[in-house]
Amino acid sequence: MAFILPSESIDGSPPANGLHMNGQDSLVQPLLTDFYQITMCYAYWKTGTHNEPAVFDVFFRKNPFNGEFTVFAGLEDCLRFVENFKFSQSDIEYVKKILPENADDSFFEYLETLDGSRLTIEAVSEGSVVFPKVPLLTIYGPLAMCQLLETSILNLVNYASLVATNAARFRQAAGNKINLLEFGLRRAQGPNGGLTASKYCYIGGFDGTSNVLAGKLYGIPVKGTQAHSFICSFSSPDELKIRTLNHKDSKETSDLFKLSTEKRKWLLEEISWGVVQSEVSDGELTAFVAYAIAFPDSFLALIDTYDVLRSGVINFVAVSLALHDLGYRSMGCRIDSGDLSYLSRELRVRFVKVAALNEDYKFFEKMCIVASNDINEETIMSLNEQKHEINSFGVGTHLVTCQKQPALGCVYKLVAQSSQPKIKLSQDVTKITIPGKKKCYRIFGKNGYAILDLMMLEEEEEPKPNEQILCRHPFEESKRALVNASKIIKLHNVYWKDGVLATPLPTLNEIKQHVNESINENLRQDHRRYLNPTPYKVSVSERLYQFLHHLWLQNAPIGQLE
């Protein structure tokens, strides 16, 4: 019972290491659950209903971030959890301790027998855009076993989907030309919060991460520049034990600090920077030289420690020109404070001036500017409006903690048991569940975009393209539409059956690609936009509508007014 997990190498990184690739195996185990799952399991078992066939749907009721779409993620983690599901002896010992003393001993023998072999899992493909009420996963099998999975599955789907959606929204805001880097590890909610964030931000649309472990485990490209402490740690060139660098081709040795100092002197004469030399920090120049000696071919400098325009940019250009003399090309600079729009434009002006000094310096026009510092979706949109010259955003806290809404509210609801549909009623109509095992379809219109999702009873015939399909709002009687589909996609595949994986899993990069297509090619712009996006329609067939409302009335008690 072992997956054939994707082992392809992304970006020159090592192949993923089978079941260990997600690095959280030690935590995702049967006891990572709410205690009530175990008490309920005991009660089902005790009263003999534990093996009744049951169907549970995983779905959410509202898209996050005031948006109208969600990216589904975490499926592979769920499947791996089910594949490895087995109570260890020490788990059983612990459960004995926390259940009442008079609990029946045979229950623990029953617990020992449990695994995922009698479960079936259908799911939407990972990375798909999904909408409220439509099941992301449908899990069926013995009632008690299904019940035991609830908390772990929700934990694995909720945050993965939330952070992938957040990343996709950042991508929407930034457009396709900007490089987006995830820098959130230090502010993430725990070590795994950071690792999960790096993985699912990449899937959702980011280009790389600062998180080295995520790079190692998942093959995500890792990126990084330097910290203020690096700049602060250098006061004078005397501190450098090595100041020389060899020419890239001729291997001739030069004093990079001396050369950079000369370049700086020349630059201060050639271009009007509006500063006096005493303002341009020597400590900063030393730090840049140290970094350039280490990374002559990928020099990227943090230039805001002292003053971006009065010190940082001048030192950066000086070292870059010195490197250029020795056959190397700088990668760019990073700003981590101040007015990012203004600073990036001012930097570009200066880079263009430098480019004009010499035909060989033309590459300076397109010098990469990386910006970080508390960036969120709104900051990016505001920067877009103000115009900016930033090529790459480094995003941390807002991205990984999903500051705007730090939890997705997926739920796990019983929808059928022993072939009987189950409905969870509520005075709040949005909380009523759609009963029964369902088939779900995505209906595409003539222009190629998705129009709506349609849920049907399992025994209904499949809808066909180019035929009229009556689609109804699940709860509002008057909302109906006839739809003529250009294309229909079945949303669910069977991913797990009879103890083995039933559909091959895509690689991380395939999932990432699927997110991109699912959003940009299938979803109309008005569903995606930031301000007042149009809700995407989720509907039910006529038969499911009747079935749902019949069951609703049947289950809702008739009150008596006094």
Map the footprint of a second copy across residues 400-419, applying CB under 8 A. Answer: 401-403, 406-410, 412-414, 417
> How far is CA 388 from its chain centroid?
26
Give the 3-state DSSP-derived string for 420-464, with helices as H, strands as E and coil as C.
EECCCCCCCHHHCCCCCCEEEEEEECCCCCEEEEEEEECCCCCCC
Q: H-type helices in 479-541, by residue range?
A: 508-520, 525-528
Q: Residue 168's closest CA among 214, 202, 125?
A: 202
Residues 207-226 that bind a second copy (CB under 8 A): 210-213, 215-216, 222-226
**Looking at 117-125, 271-279, 341-349, 470-478, which segment touches a second copy (CB under 8 A)?**
271-279
* Residue type, position 72, single letter: F
Residue 170 contacts a second copy per CB under 8 A: no
Residues 303-322 that bind a second copy (CB under 8 A): 305-307, 310-311
When binding is defined by CB under 8 A, the residue of 172, 196, 392, 518 that contacts a second copy is: 196
Q: Which is nearer to a second copy, 317 or 488 (CB)?
A: 317
What is the DSSP code string of 370-419? EE-SS--HHHHHHHHHH-----EEEE-HHHHHTTT------EEEEEEETT
Dihedral sign, Cα of residue 198, residue 64, residue 450, residue 437: positive
Q: Which is nearer to a second copy, 175 or 190 (CB)?
A: 190
CB of 246 to a second copy, least distance (A): 10
When binding is defined by CB under 8 A, the residue of 97, 466, 477, 482 that contacts a second copy is: 97
CB of 130 to a second copy, least distance (A): 18
Q: Which is nearer to a second copy, 275 or 356 (CB)?
A: 275
Pairing mode, if any, of strands 368-371 and 392-395? parallel
Q: Which is nearer to a second copy, 172 or 198 (CB)?
A: 198
When binding is defined by CB under 8 A, the residue of 194, 204, 205, 312 that contacts a second copy is: 194
Residue 185 contacts a second copy per CB under 8 A: yes
**Could you give the CA distance from residue 49 to residue 46 in angstroms, rounded to a whole number?**
8
Task: Give the three-state DSSP class for 265.
Answer: helix
**Could you give the CA distance from residue 414 to residue 398 in angstroms, rounded to a whole number?**
34
Residue 271 contacts a second copy per CB under 8 A: no
CB of 448 to a second copy, least distance (A): 36
Residues 57-86 that bind a second copy (CB under 8 A): none
Residue 559 contacts a second copy per CB under 8 A: yes
Residue 276 contacts a second copy per CB under 8 A: yes
Q: Which is nearer to a second copy, 12 or 175 (CB)?
A: 12
Query: Contact 374/401 with Cβ under 8 angstroms?
Result: no
Q: Residue 283's closest CA among 238, 229, 236?
A: 236
Distances in whole angstroms, Cα of residue 7 to Cα of each of 19, 26, 106, 325, 509:
10, 21, 42, 42, 11
Residue 159 contacts a second copy per CB under 8 A: yes
Residues 350-369 that bind a second copy (CB under 8 A): none
Query: 99 exposed, middle or buried (CB, 10 Å; 0-12, 13-18, 19+)?
Result: middle
Residues 8-47 that bind a second copy (CB under 8 A): 12-14, 23-29, 31-40, 42-44, 46-47
Q: Which is nearer to a second copy, 228 or 480 (CB)?
A: 228
Residue 294 contacts a second copy per CB under 8 A: yes
